Amino acid sequence: ENTNNPDTFTAIWEALKRISSEVPVVFPIHPRTRNLFPWVSGEAPASLHIIEPVSYLEMIAMIRDARCMVTDSGGVQKEAFLLKTPCVTVRDTTEWPETVQAGANRLVSTEPPALFEAVESMMSLVFPDVENPFGDGRASHHIAAFLLDKGF
């Protein structure tokens, strides 16, 4: 929804340009977004790196190495949490409220000042030391142990 509306996308773009004046920004642009807003590449400051979409593993590495993620993707929010990377989500709601409650994700509007402030704030965040609300990554082990314990 953020990349379909010209006014919304332009606001996000202005915020990204402002953020890139403080820190380098990498923006893997979806082909649909590039087609809708072909002017983006010509307007990018040197510190705002527009790149082609990346593979899943490349994206995971980028999230891991980032100081902060800015996204409107549901999946990126959770991956950022699991990789202990602060996240700013450009949406009104999230399917991962646990990440917001933990202080690791912040929901923000598309208004450039609000988005810039949220990113600035989250970049200085010391990632909260919270228990992972999504489990320990060993679900199959726990299920097998439970079944063995019950005699299956």
CATH code at 102?
Answer: 3.40.50.2000
CA distance 37 to 6: 8
Using the predicted structure, report yes or no on whether residue 94 has a pLDDT greater than 90: yes
Q: pTM score, two decimals?
A: 0.85
Using the predicted structure, report yes or no on whether residue 63 has a pLDDT greater than 90: yes
Structure confidence by residue, pLDDT tens digits, 100-135: 999 999 999 999 999 999 999 999 988 888 888 888
Task: Classify residue 1: in a domain, yes or no.
Answer: no
- CA dist list (Å): 41 to 33, 50, 72, 107, 151: 11, 7, 20, 27, 61
Residue-range definition of the domain harbouring residue 96: 6-149
Please give the tally of structural domains in the chain.
1
Using the predicted structure, report yes or no on whether residue 34 has a pLDDT greater than 90: no
Using the predicted structure, report yes or no on whether residue 1 has a pLDDT greater than 80: no
